[in-house]
Amino acid sequence: MGKGRPRRLRRVPYAPRLIVMAKSPRAGRIKRRLAASIGTIPATRFYRACLAHTLMRLGSSPRWHTVLGVTPDSVAATLWPRTARLARLPQGSGDLGARMQLLFQRLPPGPAIIVGSDIPSISAREIAKAFRLLGNADAVLGPAPDGGYWLVGLRRSPRVLTPFAHVRWSGKHALADTLHNLKGRRVAFAATLSDVDTEDDYRRLRGDWERLIPRRSAR
């Protein structure tokens, strides 16, 4: 396989899969809400560092297959060379819920978890715990302090659930709306972690993300 070309999605029956949702890390196209407060260059530097370390921490684990869910779809084969060994799937169009639903439906059979790429304190330990919880549940959610969630997983057996209809994203109702859609299902909860969307998040979690950036780039 040529350098820089992504692996095809391996159709291993019932293998656990972790999807890391990622945007093409181009200045001006990522973390726009954060960039409006702290500037485009610091926001881009943060995102690139956090995404790179998320993939480094989670992508090499033999306990699951890591898949990169990318947007826009056109960057599926050329995100950047260091991710060449990872299978990739385009996120498609629509709101966050529609794109996550599509990713869940496109995977081969087996439990699957989706996480974001802007969570500085994410760890393989927490992902492993979430997969264990999913063994006895229909869905697993990782709450965020702002009322959203940083992780969502589905058992996907005997069918793929559809928990994202009419969810109010980017606000305090996202977790509650998703739980409403999962009423009557067995839902487990992973650890509570924070992503970085606002300047307040950026300042509050400084200790978590600053260590991700190489010293030569932290000036």
> What b/e string do you get for 78-93 counting C-beta neighbours within 10 Å, with b at 16 or more?
ebeeebbebbbbbbbe
* Amino acid sitting at position 2: G
How much is the pLDDT for 207?
A: 61
Angle at alpha carbon of residue 15, lines to 79 and 23, rounded to 5°: 20
Per-residue pLDDT at 217: 40
How is residue 26 written in tokens? 């181009």
pTM equals 0.85
> Any residues with CB less than 8 A from the CB of 198 and at least 6 apart, and which?
33, 34, 37
Q: Check residue 75 and give its pLDDT.
A: 58
The answer to whether the CB of 68 falls within 8 A of the CB of 83 is yes
- CA-to-CA separations, 84 to 14, 23, 94, in angstroms, rounded: 24, 16, 26
Secondary structure class of 205 (helix, strand, coil): coil
Domain-by-domain residue ranges, the chain?
A: 17-217
Characterize the bridge pairing of strands 65-71 and 17-23. Answer: parallel
How large is the angle between the packed helices 40-58 and 124-134, nearest 10 degrees? 60
Averages of pLDDT over runs of 10 residues in the chain (219 residues) are 50 79 80 83 86 87 92 61 71 94 93 93 94 96 94 94 94 94 97 86 69 47
Report the distance separating Cα 32 and Cα 120, nearest Å: 18
CATH number of 17-217: 3.90.550.10
Residue for token pair 């998703």: 178
Structure token digits, residue 155:
């058992």
Quick check: 138 and 185 in contact, CB under 8 A?
yes
